[in-house]
Structures are given as structure tokens and as C-alpha cells.
């Protein structure tokens, strides 16, 4: 016991030391990275300042060069440039004033003097082949110019100077066409690097700001380090006290057990028979559990076992296959994690009410898999225990998405044309009945439009049935484009189409749509490299009519369509514009 205690006394100190070491290894690199980011941010500010200064100087130099130099008054600060070899360098005005030409290089030096005295920024124009001795580059400028020749775009460095820290920024000066006035004799061409301008900017403020940010980051990370390791340190010591208490309790229990062992020896003898009986019961229970586990794991239905608070406590392999969630991803969570968003709170309240009342519920429910796909399942849920105090629930689920899709596909095929995907005659008749009932109920009007293609047979004869089918599909799309999303476009078969326009004000609305349909059908059709032209004959009837049923309205619209056909096609007509076709002219004879 003494050895264990001494080992236990030393162990927490090793743990605490390890905690502090790990904390230092974590927060030390993070602080170094934060300092690096601060340095990069400050350097970026200096680079932007240097680049802005350089851009301004380069722009003024280009302006000067484009004007072939500028003339200024000669004074003490601006004497003639002895390095400018130009016959017209010096002039005298009619009133006796002396002028001298200032080229880009001279102007840069003048600006450099102003910036140096104004804000301490030192500008230096330099080159590997300078004309003016004062433009000779220093060591850093020489390296920068060599880097520019190798393709570098700019250079920057933080240096210590007699006046304090400073950022040195430098970018290349390239030869423009205007520069050749002075530098063509030196062998330069447009685009060559003539030299560069270095910008030396006092950095005391930026460095002070950098140091301030570093200090703040150091304090922040130090506080985080102390907080983190302090918490872990406290947990270690709390655990140590807990272990001591547990060991003391164990020691008392061992002493009590030793006393009771003698008392229970005789009782154990009497219980031997009972133990044997319990063992037999346990073996039966194990066998039963094995059978349950085999069924639970091998069934194709997904199974969820939930506690009284609707938290998942167990799922089988089929659940994972259906939902995509592994057991460890759902244990302890509620089935709401599978929610699709398609059911409102009232839907689930109804499920809970049925389970509380009858103890079981089954029905269709939409859920969402782990990958985000929606699916529909048939679910059966059973309550375990009494309604007042349920012990839990068992839910089984079967993925019926494929079956639902097959049912929907069959329903769609039954109500839609196989070629164009438009509603067929059966669905159209249903919608026409609905349109008539709605119009009569709300006092509205609708229009029934029948469309028959002119010249479609010729397309089939010239280009083949495949091209004809392609044209019919395109006709369906053009008809849909001529109406609103709430209107119905259907295909009766062959080249016959029909349209229901809901909520029209009168003939003008229907005539406008019919005109769009005729224009759309008259436009050329591109069919696998060939161009086909057709037309459309359109018959229109307005509803509702209290004395006419759906079949009568269709006959009247068909009579108006046939009247257009007899007059040559390519237009539309209302049923009231001409008497219905004679019996011998029934449209079925077309």
C-alpha cells in the first residue's frame, strides 16, 4: 500500500509536467505563426506605400517623357542639368528669363529632394549603367536590379539606418517609346529595364505598431496557455482526490467483504441449487438473445430502438444501409435528425398521440439520408410499456422510394403522351371538366383551343417518321411557350393538340394566344440538318356554357378548326364566326 501511495504521489507531477509541455508545444508555434502574420501584414502596408510612391513617380516620368521634357526657370535649386546632352537644353525667353529643360531623371531627383525634406522618404533613381555618378546603385540596389533582370517584379527589405528602422522598396523602370529620345543611343529598346527607383521609408511607426501587435498576441496566447493548462491541471488534481476517496471506499468494502464472507459461506451452500437454476435460465436467455440478435441483424427492414425520451439506443445494419448513418452517428440522438422538412409539427404530434393511445402507428413518412437525398419509407412504431410511463419504442422502416417512383411513373404514363410528355386526352378531359366547374363556380371564363398542324404529313414523307417525331416534340415545347404555366397543353395523338386557357377576359385574350400559336408554328423547324416548314389551323371556343357540356365544346372548337382548314389553313377562328361543319365534313374524315 505504501509503494502504491508513493507512486501515486509522483505520478500527478509527471502528468502536470506533461500537460505544460504539450501546452507549450501547441501555443508556442501558434504564437510564432501569429507573429509571422503580423510581420507580413506590416510589410504589406509598407509595400503598398512604396508601390504607390513608385507608381506616382513612374507616371510623372512618363508624362515628362511624352512631352519631350519640360522647361523650367533656372534658379539656385534648379541649375541646368550637366548630364543632359541636348542642343535645346537651355533657352531664354523674350523677356530675358533663362529656362532649362528638365528630363524625367532630373525631375525625379527634384521630387526626391522634396519628399526627403517633406516626410523623410528618400527616393533614389539608379541603374547598372548610370550616366550620373550619383545614380550609382548601392549593394542592395545592385542585387535588386539583377533580380529585375531575372524577372522579379519588385523588391522590399526592412533595414536599420542611422535614423531608425526603414523599409526599402524598389521596382524596375522599363523603357517606353518616349524614353528612346534620350536613351536610344545607349542601345536600349522598348520594354528593356533601364534601371529602377528605390524608395526608403521611415518605419518607426510601423515597427512600433508591429511590436505592439506582437506584444498583444503574446499576452493573448499566454493567457490562453495558462487558462488551458490550468484547467487541465485542476482536472488532474481533482481526479487525484477522487481516486484517493475511491481507494478508501474500496479498502472499507474489502474489510466488510472479508467479514461477511464467513457469514455467507453457509448461505452460499444453500444458494448453490438456486445458482444452478439461474445458470440454466441464463443459458436459455443467452440462446434467446442470440436468436433475437440474428433476427435483428439479418432482417432487411431497418430497426430503431428508442428510449422513453425518443433517443436512439440501438439500430441494425439495415438501418445503416437505408439511411447511410452508422450506429455511432445516431446513438443518443432523436429521429428528427432524419427529418426531410416535408412534415409539419402537427404530423408528428399525430404520431405521438396514436402511440400514446393505441401503442402502435404505421404509415408513410419522408426522411433524408446522410448524403442529403430524400426518400420515402413505410414505418411501423410500437410502444414498449404502459401509456402513462412508456419504457421506450421500437420502429421498423422499409425504403419504398423505388416503389413510389414506379407508381408515379405508371401514373404519369397513364395520363401523359409518351412522345411529348404532354397530358393526353384522358387527363385533358379531366382538366377541361375542372375548368368548366371552376368557371361556373367563380363566374370566370376560359377558352378551349384545338390545334391541327398543316403540312405535317409532308414532313413525314420527305424526312421520315423520326424527324416527324422530333418536330412533334418541338411543337409541344413551342405551345408551352405560348401560354402561362397555369394553362394546359395536351396532345390528342398524331398532329392534334389542345389548349385550355384559364381566366380569360374574352375573345381578345384567346385571339392573342391563338395568334402566338400560329406564328410559332409558322417559324422554321431545324430537323437534323434539314429545315421543315408547317402551319397550324386553330379552332377556339369560349366557355363556360350552361347548355353545353365538355364534349359539345370540343365539337364546336373542332368545327371552327375545320372551317380554317377548308379556307386554306394557317389561321384561327372562333366557333361563333361560322356555322358548325356539316355532317359530311366531320373532322374525322380529314
DSSP state string for 414-433: HHB-TTT--B-HHHHHHHHH
Q: Which of 321-330, 373-382, 402-411, 490-499 has the lowest mean pLDDT?
A: 402-411
Per the model's pLDDT, the better-predicted residue between 411 and 361 turns out to be 361
Distance CA 106, CA 93 (A): 21
Secondary structure (3-state) at 503 = coil
The candidate with the shortest Cα–Cα distance to 432, out of 493, 496, 490, 510, is 490
Whether CATH 1.10.10.60 fits 302-404: no
- Per-residue pLDDT of 514-546, as tens digits, reads 999 999 999 999 988 889 999 999 999 998 887
3-state SS, one letter per residue, for 174-197: ECCHHHHHHHHHHCCCCCCEEEEE
Give pLDDT, residue 76. Answer: 81
Buried b or exposed e, range 166-179, using 16+ CB within 10 angstroms: bbbbbbbbbbbebb
The pLDDT assigned to 536 comes to 96
pTM for this prediction: 0.37
Task: Find the mean pLDDT for residues 151-157.
Answer: 89
The CA dihedral of 460, 463, 466, 471, to the nearest 10 degrees, is: -70
pLDDT tens-digit series, residues 424-452: 999 999 999 999 999 989 989 999 999 99
Point out the least confidently predicted range of 10-14, 205-209, 345-349, 386-390: 10-14
Across-strand partners of 122?
A: 200
Residue pair 482/517 in contact (Cβ under 8 Å)? The answer is: yes
Sheet of 488-493, strands arranged across: 488-493, 496-502, 446-454, 535-543, 571-574
pLDDT of residue 397: 86
Per-residue pLDDT, 581: 33
Q: Which residue has the higher pLDDT, 344 or 114?
A: 344
pLDDT interval class at 287 (50, 70, 90)? low
Q: What residues does CATH 3.30.70.270 cover in the chain?
A: 416-589
For the stretch 219-231, pLDDT in tens is 998 998 889 888 8
CA atoms within 13 Å, Cβ hemisphere of 12: 18
CB under 8 Å to 325, separation ≥6 — which residues?
315, 319, 337, 338, 370
Average of per-residue pLDDT across 155-162? 88
Average pLDDT, the chain: 83
- 85 phi/psi in degrees, rounded to 5: -95, 90
What are the Cα distances from residue 245, in Å, to 4, 235, 240, 251? 15, 15, 9, 10
Query: 154, 153, 190: which is closest to 175 by C-alpha?
Result: 190
Whole-angstrom distance, CA of residue 478 vs CA of residue 520: 6
Task: Compute the distance between CA of residue 70 and CA of residue 430 in angstroms, rounded to an integer.
Answer: 89
> Max CA-CA distance within the chain?
139
Q: Are 404 and 368 in contact (CB under 8 A)?
A: no
The strand pair at 535-543 and 571-574 is best described as parallel
| Whole-angstrom distance, CA of residue 105 vs CA of residue 126 | 10
Cβ neighbours, 10 Å, residue 222: 12
pLDDT grade for 586, boundaries at 50, 70 and 90? very low
Helix, strand, coil percentages in the chain from 3-state DSSP, rounded to 5: 55, 20, 20
* Domain 12-208: CATH class, spelled out: alpha beta
Tell me which architecture the domain covering 416-589 has in CATH: 2-Layer Sandwich (3.30)
> Where in the sequence of the chain do the CATH 3.30.450.20 domains occur?
302-404
d(C-alpha 397, C-alpha 366), whole Å = 11
13 class by beta-carbon count within 10 Å (0-12 exposed, 13-18 middle, 19+ buried): exposed
Amino acid at each position: 500500500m505504501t509503494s502504491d501511495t508513493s507512486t501515486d504521489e509522483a505520478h500527478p507531477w509527471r502528468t502536470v509536467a506533461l500537460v505544460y509541455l504539450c501546452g507549450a508545444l501547441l501555443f508556442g508555434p501558434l504564437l510564432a505563426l501569429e507573429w509571422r502574420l503580423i510581420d507580413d501584414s506590416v510589410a504589406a502596408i509598407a509595400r503598398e506605400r512604396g508601390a504607390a510612391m513608385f507608381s506616382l513617380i513612374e507616371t510623372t516620368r512618363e508624362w515628362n517623357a511624352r512631352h519631350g521634357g519640360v522647361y523650367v526657370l533656372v534658379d539656385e535649386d534648379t541649375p541646368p542639368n550637366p548630364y543632359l546632352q541636348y542642343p535645346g537644353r537651355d533657352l531664354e525667353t523674350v523677356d530675358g528669363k533663362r529656362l532649362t529643360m528638365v528630363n524625367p531623371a532630373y525631375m525625379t531627383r527634384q521630387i526626391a529632394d522634396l519628399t526627403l525634406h517633406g516626410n523623410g522618404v528618400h527616393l533614389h533613381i539608379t541603374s547598372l549603367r548610370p550616366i550620373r555618378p550619383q545614380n550609382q546603385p548601392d549593394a542592395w540596389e545592385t542585387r535588386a536590379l539583377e533580380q529585375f533582370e531575372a524577372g522579379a517584379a519588385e523588391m522590399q527589405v526592412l533595414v536599420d539606418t542611422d535614423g531608425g528602422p526603414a523599409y526599402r522598396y524598389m521596382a524596375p523602370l522599363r523603357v517606353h517609346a518616349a524614353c528612346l529620345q534620350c536613351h536610344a543611343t545607349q542601345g536600349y529598346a522598348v520594354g528593356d529595364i533601364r534601371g529602377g527607383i528605390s524608395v526608403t521609408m521611415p518605419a518607426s511607426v510601423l515597427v512600433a505598431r508591429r511590436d505592439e501587435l506582437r506584444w498583444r498576441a503574446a499576452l493573448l496566447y499566454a493567457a490562453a496557455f495558462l487558462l488551458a493548462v490550468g484547467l487541465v491541471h485542476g482536472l488532474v488534481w481533482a481526479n487525484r482526490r477522487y481516486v484517493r476517496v475511491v481507494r478508501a471506499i474500496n479498502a472499507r468494502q474489502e474489510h466488510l467483504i472479508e467479514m461477511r464472507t464467513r457469514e455467507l459461506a453457509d448461505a452460499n451452500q444453500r444458494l448453490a441449487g438456486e445458482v444452478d437454476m439461474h445458470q440454466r435460465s441464463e443459458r436459455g436467455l443467452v440462446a434467446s438473445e442470440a436468436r433475437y440478435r440474428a433476427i435483428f441483424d439479418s432482417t432487411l427492414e431497418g430497426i430503431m430502438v428508442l428510449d422513453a425520451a425518443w433517443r436512439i439506443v440501438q439500430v441494425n445494419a439495415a438501418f445503416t444501409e437505408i439511411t447511410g448513418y452508422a450506429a455511432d452517428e445516431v446513438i443518443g440522438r432523436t429521429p428528427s435528425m432524419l427529418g426531410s422538412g416535408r412534415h409539419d409539427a402537427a404530423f408528428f404530434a399525430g404520431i405521438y398521440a396514436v402511440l400514446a393511445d393505441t401503442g402502435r402507428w404505421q404509415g408513410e413518412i419522408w426522411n433524408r439520408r446522410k448524403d442529403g437525398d430524400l426518400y420515402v419509407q413505410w414505418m411501423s412504431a410500437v410502444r414498449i410499456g404502459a401509456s402513462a410511463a412508456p419504457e421506450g419504442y421500437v420502429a421498423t422502416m422499409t425504403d419504398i422510394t423505388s416503389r413510389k417512383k414506379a407508381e408515379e411513373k405508371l401514373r404519369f404514363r397513364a395520363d401523359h403522351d409518351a412522345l411529348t410528355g404532354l397530358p393526353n386526352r384522358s387527363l385533358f378531359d379531366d382538366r377541361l371538366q375542372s375548368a368548366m366547374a371552376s368557371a361556373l363556380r367563380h363566374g370566370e371564363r376560359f377558352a378551349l383551343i384545338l390545334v391541327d398542324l398543316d403540312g405535317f404529313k409532308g414532313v413525314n414523307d420527305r424526312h421520315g417518321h423520326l424527324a416527324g417525331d422530333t418536330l412533334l416534340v418541338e411543337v409541344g415545347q413551342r405551345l408551352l411557350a405560348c401560354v402561362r404555366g397555369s394553362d394546359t397543353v395536351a396532345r390528342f395523338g398524331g398532329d392534334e393538340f389542345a389548349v385550355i386557357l384559364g381566366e380569360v377576359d374574352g375573345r381578345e385574350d384567346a385571339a392573342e394566344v391563338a395568334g402566338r400559336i400560329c406564328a410559332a408554328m409558322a417559324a422554321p423547324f431545324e430537323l437534323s440538318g434539314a429545315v421543315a416548314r408547317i402551319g397550324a389551323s386553330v379552332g377556339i371556343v369560349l366557355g363556360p356554357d350552361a347548355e353545353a357540356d365538355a364534349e359539345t365544346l370540343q365539337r364546336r372548337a373542332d368545327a371552327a378548326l375545320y372551317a380554317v382548314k377548308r379556307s386554306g389553313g394557317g389561321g384561327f377562328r372562333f366557333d361563333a364566326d361560322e356555322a358548325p361543319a356539316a355532317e359530311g365534313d366531320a373532322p374525322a374524315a380529314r
